[in-house]
Amino acid sequence: MTASALLSRLRLPVVAAPMFLASGPELVIAASRAGIIGSFPTPNCRTIAELDGWLTQITTALGTGPDAVPWALNLITHSTNTRLSADLEQVAKHHPPIVITALGSPRPVVDVVHAYGGIVLADVVSLTLARKAADAGADGLVCVSAGAGGHTGSLSPLPFIAAVRDSFEGLVCVGGGIATGAGVAGAVAAGADLVYMGTRFLASRESIALEGHKQMVVDSGIDDLVVSAAITGTPASWLRPSLAAVGIDPAATAVVARDYSTEMSNIRRWKDTWAAGQGLSTIRAIDTTAQIVDRLAEEYAAALDRAGRLAFAR
Ligand SMILES: Cc1cc2nc3c(=O)[nH]c(=O)nc-3n(C[C@H](O)[C@H](O)[C@H](O)COP(=O)(O)O)c2cc1C
């Protein structure tokens, strides 16, 4: 599928971003059926057999080949991920239309995905990483910016989009604190093709996140977040009340080493301490994914209308 064919098939230019312990097949299917791009990270499956089952469930619901409804699989390509080659065999078997790489170079996946006509997006947090990912053959870049939930970037999204656009002609996706249709319109106006939205869909009915985590997203505001590398070794945005509940003071906690091979300890970290992005202030209820996408579409149309009227007033 080409990038323009992908975009032309969407109701809204949004990816329900992959979230550890939150995105499962129900969320992927609901998001893609609602006209955005659903996704999940492979570590959400404990075993390759479980991954095979999820991929079968998704491809049965969304189709395969050129007519498949767009959806995405997220792979951690960091050198400590010992499951990457087994995950890649599943990619070669099930042909996810889009593969998003994170925490490492997209190089190991590009040939496999391009061989069946899929699209590779690489998650990046700096212009240096963006250039490396483009050189490695990524078709698009996901510019994870300040305000993102989970592992966050530190760049402001608008200058990040501008800097990437300056030297990259592929798909540009941006994420970080965007949880409304107005935010999507703003990102698109600034030059993005797609918006990466995690926290908004964490608090959806189809998300497999713990109910306490979803409710804390609804109940919390922007000042309840703290960015710390102390929990996973990489800067991530956490709900402060969830850290306090397990007695963690991020300022007084030693930074742990990055290691994606110790699956169990990763699960403990993300299960006991809850991540969210700065868009949470606009999330007031745990709705279905279809309801969320309907509201985003209304807000997007209203924002475009408002921008058009402001331009004409001059
Ligand atoms: C609870 C949670 C878990 C996440 N897990 C992953 C993950 O496993 N892989 C990944 O690439 N990104 C992960 N992310 C980051 C999202 O894919 C995305 O970059 C981020 O949610 C965008 O910012 P937003 O939450 O403000 O919309 C996670 C985010 C959250 C909130």
Using the structure block, give the residue that is written with the tokens 């996901």.
142
In the reported structure, the alpha carbon of residue 22 is separated from the centroid of ligand 1 by a whole-number distance in angstroms of 9
85 found inside a domain: yes
The reply to whether 199 and 226 lie within a common domain is: no
Q: Are 163 and 145 in contact (CB under 8 A)?
A: no
Is residue 275 pLDDT above 90, yes or no?
yes
Predicted confidence at residue 311, as pLDDT, reads 72
Looking at per-residue pLDDT, the higher value among 121 and 268 belongs to 121
65 found inside a domain: yes
Dig out the tokens for 217 from the structure.
């997203």
The reply to whether 15 and 146 lie within a common domain is: yes
Atom from ligand 1 closest to the CA of residue 22: 1
Looking at per-residue pLDDT, the higher value among 23 and 82 belongs to 23
The reply to whether 161 and 229 lie within a common domain is: no
Dig out the tokens for 41 from the structure.
């990270």
The reply to whether 56 and 135 lie within a common domain is: yes
Crossing angle of helices 25-33 and 289-313, in 10° steps, is 40
3-state SS class at 141 = strand
Strand 225-228, strand 236-239: pairing: antiparallel
Chain mean pLDDT for the chain: 93
278 found inside a domain: no
* Separation between Cα atoms, residue 300 and residue 223, nearest integer Å: 26
In a mutational test of the pocket of ligand 1, which residue from 14, 20, 141 has the highest number of ligand atoms less than 8 Å from its CB? Answer: 20
Strand 71-76, strand 38-41: pairing: parallel
Which range of residues forms the domain containing residue 103? 3-210+287-313
State the pLDDT confidence band at 310, using cuts at 50, 70 and 90: confident
The reply to whether 188 and 248 lie within a common domain is: no
43 found inside a domain: yes
Predicted confidence at residue 29, as pLDDT, reads 98
Dig out the tokens for 262 from the structure.
């110790």
80 found inside a domain: yes
pLDDT in tens, 206-225: 999 999 999 999 999 999 99
Is residue 249 pLDDT above 60, yes or no?
yes
Amino acid letter, residue 221: G
* Separation between Cα atoms, residue 154 and residue 96, nearest integer Å: 30
Give how many domains the chain has, as a whole number: 2
279 found inside a domain: no
Q: Whose CA is nearest to atom 11 of ligand 1?
A: 102
Classify residue 145 by burial, with Cβ atoms within 10 Å: 0-12, 13-18, 19+. Answer: buried
Evaluate the CA torsion angle 47, 54, 295, 5 in order and state its sign.
positive
State the pLDDT confidence band at 42, using cuts at 50, 70 and 90: very high
282 found inside a domain: no
Using the structure block, give the residue that is written with the tokens 């009915």.
205
Predicted confidence at residue 259, as pLDDT, reads 57
The reply to whether 147 and 26 lie within a common domain is: yes
Instruction: Check which CATH number belongs to the domain holding 30 and give it.
Output: 3.20.20.70
Q: How much of the chain exceeds pLDDT 90, in percent?
A: 81
The reply to whether 36 and 148 lie within a common domain is: yes
280 found inside a domain: no
Dig out the tokens for 237 from the structure.
């945005």
The reply to whether 264 and 295 lie within a common domain is: no
State the pLDDT confidence band at 270, using cuts at 50, 70 and 90: confident
Q: Of 29-43, 87-101, 179-193, 233-247, give the lowest mean pLDDT range.
A: 233-247
In the reported structure, the alpha carbon of residue 19 is separated from the centroid of ligand 1 by a whole-number distance in angstroms of 5
In the reported structure, the alpha carbon of residue 113 is separated from the centroid of ligand 1 by a whole-number distance in angstroms of 22
The reply to whether 221 and 240 lie within a common domain is: yes
Looking at per-residue pLDDT, the higher value among 1 and 151 belongs to 151
The reply to whether 107 and 79 lie within a common domain is: yes
The reply to whether 233 and 141 lie within a common domain is: no
* Separation between Cα atoms, residue 256 and residue 92, nearest integer Å: 34
Atom from ligand 1 closest to the CA of residue 200: 27
The reply to whether 121 and 243 lie within a common domain is: no
State the pLDDT confidence band at 267, using cuts at 50, 70 and 90: low
Residues 6+ apart with CB under 8 A from 40: 18, 19, 23, 24, 25, 27, 28, 54, 73, 74
Pocket of ligand 1 (CB under 6 A): 17-20, 22, 41, 74, 102, 123, 144, 147-151, 175-178, 196-199, 202, 275-277, 279
In the reported structure, the alpha carbon of residue 197 is separated from the centroid of ligand 1 by a whole-number distance in angstroms of 8
State the pLDDT confidence band at 313, using cuts at 50, 70 and 90: low
